[in-house]
Chain A
Amino acid sequence: MAPPQSQRSPSPSQPSGKSEVSDLKLQLRQLAGSRAPGTDDLKRDLFKKVISNMTIGIDVSSLFGEMVMCSATSDIVLKKMCYLYVGNYAKGNPELALLTINFLQRDCKDMDPMIRGLALRSLCTLRVENLVEYLVGPLGSGLKDNNSYVRMVAVIGVLKLYHISASTCIDADFPATLKHLMLNDPDTQVVANCLSALQEIWTLESGSSEEAAREREAVHSKPVIYYLLNRIKEFSEWSQCVVLELVAKYVPSDNSEIFDIMNLLEDRLQHANGAVVLATTKVFLHLTLSMADVHQQVYERIKAPLLTQVSSGSPEQSYAILSHLHLLVMRAPYIFSSDYKHFYCQYNEPSYVKKLKLEMLTAVANESNTYEIVTELCEYAANVDIPIARESIRAVGKIALQQYDVNAIVDRLLQFLEMEKDYVTAEALVLVKDLLRKYPQWSQDCIAVVGNISSKNVQEPKAKAALIWMLGEYSQDMNDAPYVLESLVENWDEEHSAEVRLHLLTAVMKCFFKRPPETQKALGAALAAGLADFHQDVHDRALFYYRLLQYKVSVAESVVNPPKQAVSVFADTQNSEVKDRIFDEFNSLSVVYQKPSYMFTDKEHRGILEFSDELGNLSISVESGDSVVPAQRVEENDKDLLLSTTEKDEVRDPGSNGSAYNAPSYDAAISQPLADLALPSTGLTGQAPASSLAIDDLLGLGFPVGTAATPSPPPLNLNPKAVLDPGTFQQKWRQLPISLSEEYSLSPQGIVSLTAPNALLRHMQSHSIQCIASGRQSPNFKFFFFAQKADEASVYLVECIINTSSGKSQINIKADDQSSSQAFSTLFQSALSKFGLP
């Protein structure tokens, strides 16, 4: 929970806040007892000032007593302002809140139903636990009030009461009263509020009480559902959404029931409120899941209303509906194939809408509309919006891969290559490569064009890799392939992408088997450069090729350049199970995120943990690093976004703690970067390498046998189950001097993996380094780690600030045992550097 507002100091931007508040206090006090005419107007002005201060964020909770004293009034606007104020601060001032109970209870018996309702609502929003006893009476009479407005407020009041004190609510037997109201009240808003309140209460109760679970099931029973459905037209549009949500969970007993429900609800599809339309759609889709043919018809039926909603709503609404349409289109593209024009992008639509539309266009393409869709997509390639231009070229490529008749599309793609825009060329190259993997018969046409592209004009790694792949694969058809490859090999050191270098190695090999005399020189240079490469994969592959060639050239050829089968289907990125999950959660956030809810609501996936109040103070003492930011701000941010992991992890991970292996010497070795790996490169001429070494490399272990030869650092073993409570950490951090402060860079993969900070925590834990607190203030991540020596109580404390934009991390280490802090630093560094690497 976030800290209550009252504890927060006023923000520095309002220096006058303090004196103004005391000024207001004085004035309110003067007015409190006055009965002179015109007092109400004066009060109203003062109340307005108080509330505007509250709105800006100034803490005016100190006025609580005075506000309550002034609240004896008949003016309804004054009352409302007072209710608002009281509701905001009561939680922080439970004793003072008691003062308000009196006048609120009196208002609950007012003649005017409006005031009764308002008072009851405010009474329930106080949310102070020791006042619940005063709630039961007014709520009980509110539920029996003859005015529906009061009943409506009372029903929600019961829910609020339940959240403050569940037992009081259950003891007063409110759920049963609500159930009675739900089934009998003439006012539909009351019914709807009962329904949502009961659903929430019973869902929360069902864990502990069997009766609640039974009641919860009973809401889904036929009589209740039918009762609600028959009255659905009387409900307000929002209540209709609640009812429809419930109906979607109902399982009808037979088909005629399904058709009855659908007939009854059909006109809801024409409702002006998009939320109602979507909720109805969900009911239809779920009811007909078991009947394939009717399910099809449902798609046909809901198509038009959804498309209308997309074109007539505000941009925000159409985005939400478009996300749902996207889901449906992906499930049944053929039904939408004649509506492809609806998915054409408009010039000034936001990119995320365009992206959805492009995906849908790709999905609905079939024999009859491909030509038009591809023509349209090609126009986007000249678009001002470069990411979308790229997306649309990719879309053309995807369509080409899913169609049988790709004649026209290949021409288009080749035109892209001639467009002389670097990003267009880059995307097109990648596509041509994929296309050739599926349709090798097009190689002649493509190669003619690809051959004209100078490798110097291609900069993007993916595109360059694609070009190199084609050079290798079709070197027999491209006259200058060996020479192009040779010039690329000459510039080996300038090539920063490991992917490109890997492809280059393979391409040179392939070329060598096809045109040995011309390529021999390039191959030698490539293998030498590859062996000297500092990237593990490149090095391994070069070594592997080298040994293969040494063993037998014909075997090498059969490994590197076997006859290939055309790829028939490219793997889908999202598996069908996930898609089905999303479909089950139709009309929810899952659809917009394109992830099933468990992937973002579960703590595991969300990457955030509960706020922790006691850890909130932690960073106050250590904010020296953030001196640029005003101290106030840091405090505020850290309070809210500081996450605690310790307790959680301890509870959750007994298993992982057990399996967390402790291998510091192994860690230290990797930080000696591959010194001896360069060995073979010196002797390309052919010294027989030890076979065991080769096998190690083949298996991709990447740890040379020669490790033992490297000078090992002083052994430092960490306790994998170190425990430190936050208080001790804080205390120690304050006492100890910084013994070591270093900065180093993180691998790009590591930065990417940081999007889920928990991954880092788990990673560090596997190296016996525990996290005690973490927080984020974009672009910086801040972590506090600790570790303990295996054999003694000496601990190391680490503050680690990772800047995601520069990829640098700043480490401050404090240690009980200063002498070993350097060894610990090495250990920490090696652990961190491996984060994100496979």
Chain B
Amino acid sequence: MLQCIFLLSDSGEVMLEKQLTGHRVDRSICAWFWDHAISQPDSFKQQPVIASPTHYLFQVFRDGITFLACTQVEMPPLMAIEFLCRVADVLKDYLGGLNEDVIKDNFVIVYELLDEMIDNGFPLTTELNVLQEMIAPPNIVSKVLSVVTGRSSNVSDTLPGATASVVPWRTADPKYASNEVYVDLVEEMDATINRDGVLVKCEISGEVQVNSQITGLPDLTLSFANPSVLDDVRFHPCVRFRPWESNQILSFVPPDGQFKLMSYRVRKLKSTPIYVKPQLTSDGGTCRLSVLVGIRNDPGKTIDSVIVQFQLPSCILSADLTSNHGTVNILANKTCIWTIGRIPKDKAPSMSGTLVLETGLERLHVFPTFQVDFRITGVALSGLQIDKLDLQTVPYRFYKGFRALTRAGQFEVRS
């Protein structure tokens, strides 16, 4: 049971305070929290659960804004964290982004939202669809509407049908001129390549994102050509469990608009689409660095937005790095970013140069980790393929679209 929620700006200012129970949490807890956060080393700043002298604090940090919740009683920590994450997501969606100004400009809406999302410390509903019906988002359409109709309220008069609906995530009866469903496979590849160039770990976590705009109450079925590649899956509450269990078919009544239908994980992949080979040789106070990047397994589509990034160890005084493709930037905090972009077909991009070590240091002892970023549109590297999407119960023709995208998640190469 949460007792209070605060929204703090990135300078520690309290932007919003929502007391949830009879026990009033004093604002000074925020000052304590901020002092605490500042006194911590960087990597501990965002520890999600903190014990203060008077309360237990949960924090979630999004786009410069700290969502802070306080409680004095035992509760499932994940419930609090998960709820704060949802609050952040909903606000971001409502306000078209999250930052200090947008929250301050719309604090009344934020209060209204929090009022509906949680009562007396118990989370009620965090479904965007339902909330949007109760409280209209502050977009241009509603502003125009209020000017035209003369009604200045951004709250609908009627209670959302969904609160009473058997399908709580869906608006009762949306109407669209053109009926469309878009299904996106978005995959992130996490890989770790160790010092000897061995692929230690490689897995993909993916999502099936659906944008559905269909009139009425549609019943969709989605099937994959090769569901056996999936190692573990998580579903949106709308997915029926039985058809998946027996036939690996996703059968669901979709929420209206954009939502995450399913997330999955594919483990133990054998190879990565690109290789990154760093080499460091130290000799007499200097260190020679060279990094080679190239295509290992051609995925059939172009590999785009390739970026190799690493942190120069603190013992390095200066670095002189050049590349034969793309640009190399060294930032003030000793982060070196090599932006390659698209990998050319004819040559392998490489970066090389020398690092000058601190005086007195013969060899390099701390080795940087290279973080690699890339994007491949049009292919899901896990090999998952959508077989077909059918619409039942509603007799319309509708347009279906499928897309796939793979990008690098935690892709790191150690040297």
Binding site for B on A (CB under 8 A): 1-5, 40-41, 44, 48, 51-52, 55-57, 75-77, 80-81, 84, 87-88, 91, 112-114, 118, 121, 127, 147-149, 152-153, 156, 159-160, 163-164, 187, 189, 192-193, 196, 234, 236-238, 241-242, 245, 267, 270-275, 277-279, 304-305, 307-309, 311-312, 314-317, 319-321, 323-324, 341, 344, 346-348, 350-352, 372, 375-376, 379, 382-385, 419-421, 585, 587-593, 597, 600-601, 607-608, 611, 636-637, 639-641, 776, 778
Tell me the nearest residue of chain A to B62, going by C-beta.
Answer: A314
Name the residue in B32, B59, B77, B115 with the highest tally of chain A Cβ atoms < 10 Å from its Cβ: B77
Tell me the nearest residue of chain A to B41, going by C-beta.
Answer: A351
- The smallest C-beta distance from B363 to any residue of chain A, in angstroms, reads 8
**CA of A421 to CA of B237 in the docked complex: distance in angstroms?**
53
B145 within 8 A of A: no
Determine which of B126, B168, B233 lies in contact with A270 in the assembled complex, contact meaning CB atoms within 8 Å. Answer: B233
| Chain B window 73-117, contacts with chain A (Cβ cutoff 8 Å), 1 for yes, 0 for no | 011111101111100000000000000000010011001100100
Asked if residues B85 and A352 are in contact (CB atoms below 8 Å), the reply is no
- The smallest C-beta distance from B210 to any residue of chain A, in angstroms, reads 13
**CA of A236 to CA of B31 in the docked complex: distance in angstroms?**
35
Determine the chain A residues whose CB is within 8 A of the CB of B127 once the complex forms.
Answer: 236
- Which 10 pairs show the lowest CB-CB distances between chains A and B? A2-B26, A267-B241, A238-B123, A351-B43, A316-B48, A304-B232, A275-B79, A347-B369, A640-B28, A308-B232
Asked if residues A348 and B371 are in contact (CB atoms below 8 Å), the reply is yes
B301 within 8 A of A: no
Determine the chain B residues whose CB is within 8 A of the CB of A341 once the complex forms.
Answer: 200-201
Asked if residues A112 and B152 are in contact (CB atoms below 8 Å), the reply is no
Name the residue in A148, A275, A376, A637 with the highest tally of chain B Cβ atoms < 10 Å from its Cβ: A275
* Also in contact, A81 and B77, with CB within 8 A (given A156-B119, A270-B233, A311-B265): no
Asked if residues A278 and B44 are in contact (CB atoms below 8 Å), the reply is no
* Also in contact, A636 and B260, with CB within 8 A (given A316-B85, A346-B192, A352-B44): no
Q: Interface with A: B157-165, B216-224, B322-330, B347-355, which one?
A: B157-165
**CA of A126 to CA of B24 in the docked complex: distance in angstroms?**
12
Asked if residues B82 and A589 are in contact (CB atoms below 8 Å), the reply is no
Determine the chain B residues whose CB is within 8 A of the CB of A113 once the complex forms.
Answer: 159
Binding site for A on B (CB under 8 A): 14-17, 19, 21-29, 31-32, 35-36, 39, 41, 43-44, 46-49, 51, 53-54, 56, 59-61, 74-79, 81-85, 104, 107-108, 111-112, 115, 119-120, 122-127, 134, 152-155, 157-159, 163-164, 166, 168, 190, 192, 194-195, 200-201, 203, 205, 231-237, 241, 245, 260, 263-265, 311, 313-314, 365-369, 371, 410, 412, 414
Determine which of B126, B194, B410 lies in contact with A379 in the assembled complex, contact meaning CB atoms within 8 Å. Answer: B194
**CA of A55 to CA of B152 in the docked complex: distance in angstroms?**
23
**CA of A275 to CA of B81 in the docked complex: distance in angstroms?**
9
* Also in contact, A272 and B49, with CB within 8 A (given A76-B155, A193-B122): no
**CA of A164 to CA of B21 in the docked complex: distance in angstroms?**
11
Asked if residues A55 and B16 are in contact (CB atoms below 8 Å), the reply is yes
Determine which of B60, B120, B414 lies in contact with A160 in the assembled complex, contact meaning CB atoms within 8 Å. Answer: B120
**CA of A5 to CA of B22 in the docked complex: distance in angstroms?**
14
- The smallest C-beta distance from A775 to any residue of chain B, in angstroms, reads 10
Determine which of B77, B108, B124, B412 lies in contact with A51 in the assembled complex, contact meaning CB atoms within 8 Å. Answer: B108
Determine the chain B residues whose CB is within 8 A of the CB of A114 once the complex forms.
Answer: 134, 155, 157-159
Tell me the nearest residue of chain B to A124, going by C-beta.
Answer: B120
* Also in contact, A344 and B200, with CB within 8 A (given A48-B108, A121-B119): yes
Tell me the nearest residue of chain A to B72, going by C-beta.
Answer: A601
Determine which of A56, A316, A324 lies in contact with B81 in the assembled complex, contact meaning CB atoms within 8 Å. Answer: A316
Asked if residues A350 and B43 are in contact (CB atoms below 8 Å), the reply is yes
* Also in contact, A344 and B201, with CB within 8 A (given A75-B152, A592-B49, A637-B28): yes
Tell me the nearest residue of chain B to A268, going by C-beta.
Answer: B241
**CA of A614 to CA of B60 in the docked complex: distance in angstroms?**
36
Determine the chain A residues whose CB is within 8 A of the CB of B365 once the complex forms.
Answer: 382, 419-421
Asked if residues B122 and A196 are in contact (CB atoms below 8 Å), the reply is yes
- The smallest C-beta distance from B148 to any residue of chain A, in angstroms, reads 16
Asked if residues A274 and B82 are in contact (CB atoms below 8 Å), the reply is yes
Asked if residues B28 and A308 are in contact (CB atoms below 8 Å), the reply is no
Determine the chain A residues whose CB is within 8 A of the CB of B47 once the complex forms.
Answer: 319, 350, 352
Asked if residues B111 and A80 are in contact (CB atoms below 8 Å), the reply is yes
Asked if residues A245 and B76 are in contact (CB atoms below 8 Å), the reply is yes
* Also in contact, A312 and B77, with CB within 8 A (given A77-B154, A238-B83, A274-B82): no
* Also in contact, A314 and B77, with CB within 8 A (given A384-B313, A641-B28): no
**CA of A640 to CA of B25 in the docked complex: distance in angstroms?**
10
Determine the chain B residues whose CB is within 8 A of the CB of A127 once the complex forms.
Answer: 22
Q: What are some 16 contacts across the A-B interface (CB < 8 A)?
A: A55-B15, A76-B153, A80-B111, A112-B159, A148-B164, A163-B22, A272-B263, A273-B82, A274-B78, A304-B231, A305-B232, A315-B48, A344-B201, A382-B365, A588-B77, A589-B77
Asked if residues B159 and A149 are in contact (CB atoms below 8 Å), the reply is yes
- The smallest C-beta distance from B285 to any residue of chain A, in angstroms, reads 15
Asked if residues B76 and A271 are in contact (CB atoms below 8 Å), the reply is no
- The smallest C-beta distance from B378 to any residue of chain A, in angstroms, reads 23
- The smallest C-beta distance from A314 to any residue of chain B, in angstroms, reads 6
**CA of A241 to CA of B47 in the docked complex: distance in angstroms?**
24
7 new A-B contacts, CB < 8 A, other than A114-B158, A275-B76, A636-B28, are: A51-B107, A55-B14, A149-B163, A272-B234, A273-B82, A344-B201, A639-B28
**CA of A160 to CA of B19 in the docked complex: distance in angstroms?**
13
Asked if residues A312 and B265 are in contact (CB atoms below 8 Å), the reply is yes
**CA of A734 to CA of B19 in the docked complex: distance in angstroms?**
38
Determine which of A159, A270, A317 lies in contact with B82 in the assembled complex, contact meaning CB atoms within 8 Å. Answer: A317
Asked if residues A589 and B232 are in contact (CB atoms below 8 Å), the reply is no
**CA of A91 to CA of B21 in the docked complex: distance in angstroms?**
13
Asked if residues B241 and A272 are in contact (CB atoms below 8 Å), the reply is no
Name the residue in B79, B125, B245 with the highest tally of chain A Cβ atoms < 10 Å from its Cβ: B79
- The smallest C-beta distance from B297 to any residue of chain A, in angstroms, reads 21
Asked if residues B414 and A379 are in contact (CB atoms below 8 Å), the reply is yes
Asked if residues B119 and A376 are in contact (CB atoms below 8 Å), the reply is no
Tell me the nearest residue of chain A to B259, going by C-beta.
Answer: A272
Determine the chain A residues whose CB is within 8 A of the CB of B81 once the complex forms.
Answer: 316-317, 320
- The smallest C-beta distance from B414 to any residue of chain A, in angstroms, reads 6
* Also in contact, A320 and B60, with CB within 8 A (given A267-B241, A350-B43): no
**CA of A270 to CA of B264 in the docked complex: distance in angstroms?**
10
Determine the chain A residues whose CB is within 8 A of the CB of B26 once the complex forms.
Answer: 2-3, 640
Asked if residues B48 and A320 are in contact (CB atoms below 8 Å), the reply is yes
Asked if residues B75 and A588 are in contact (CB atoms below 8 Å), the reply is yes
Asked if residues A379 and B195 are in contact (CB atoms below 8 Å), the reply is yes
Asked if residues B28 and A242 are in contact (CB atoms below 8 Å), the reply is no
Determine the chain A residues whose CB is within 8 A of the CB of B369 once the complex forms.
Answer: 347, 383-384
**CA of A307 to CA of B41 in the docked complex: distance in angstroms?**
28
Asked if residues A347 and B44 are in contact (CB atoms below 8 Å), the reply is no
Asked if residues A77 and B108 are in contact (CB atoms below 8 Å), the reply is yes
Tell me the nearest residue of chain A to B27, going by C-beta.
Answer: A57
Tell me the nearest residue of chain A to B195, going by C-beta.
Answer: A379
Asked if residues B152 and A81 are in contact (CB atoms below 8 Å), the reply is no
Determine the chain B residues whose CB is within 8 A of the CB of A41 once the complex forms.
Answer: 152
- The smallest C-beta distance from B197 to any residue of chain A, in angstroms, reads 12
* Also in contact, A316 and B115, with CB within 8 A (given A187-B164, A346-B412): no
Asked if residues A160 and B22 are in contact (CB atoms below 8 Å), the reply is yes
**CA of A87 to CA of B83 in the docked complex: distance in angstroms?**
23
Tell me the nearest residue of chain B to A127, going by C-beta.
Answer: B22
- The smallest C-beta distance from A186 to any residue of chain B, in angstroms, reads 9
- The smallest C-beta distance from A241 to any residue of chain B, in angstroms, reads 6
Name the residue in B49, B201, B313 with the highest tally of chain A Cβ atoms < 10 Å from its Cβ: B49
Asked if residues B44 and A608 are in contact (CB atoms below 8 Å), the reply is no
**CA of A245 to CA of B21 in the docked complex: distance in angstroms?**
21
Asked if residues A153 and B119 are in contact (CB atoms below 8 Å), the reply is yes
**CA of A369 to CA of B289 in the docked complex: distance in angstroms?**
32
- The smallest C-beta distance from A524 to any residue of chain B, in angstroms, reads 39
Asked if residues A315 and B46 are in contact (CB atoms below 8 Å), the reply is yes
Determine the chain B residues whose CB is within 8 A of the CB of A585 once the complex forms.
Answer: 74
* Also in contact, A320 and B194, with CB within 8 A (given A160-B120, A278-B76, A344-B200): no
Determine the chain B residues whose CB is within 8 A of the CB of A2 once the complex forms.
Answer: 24-26, 28
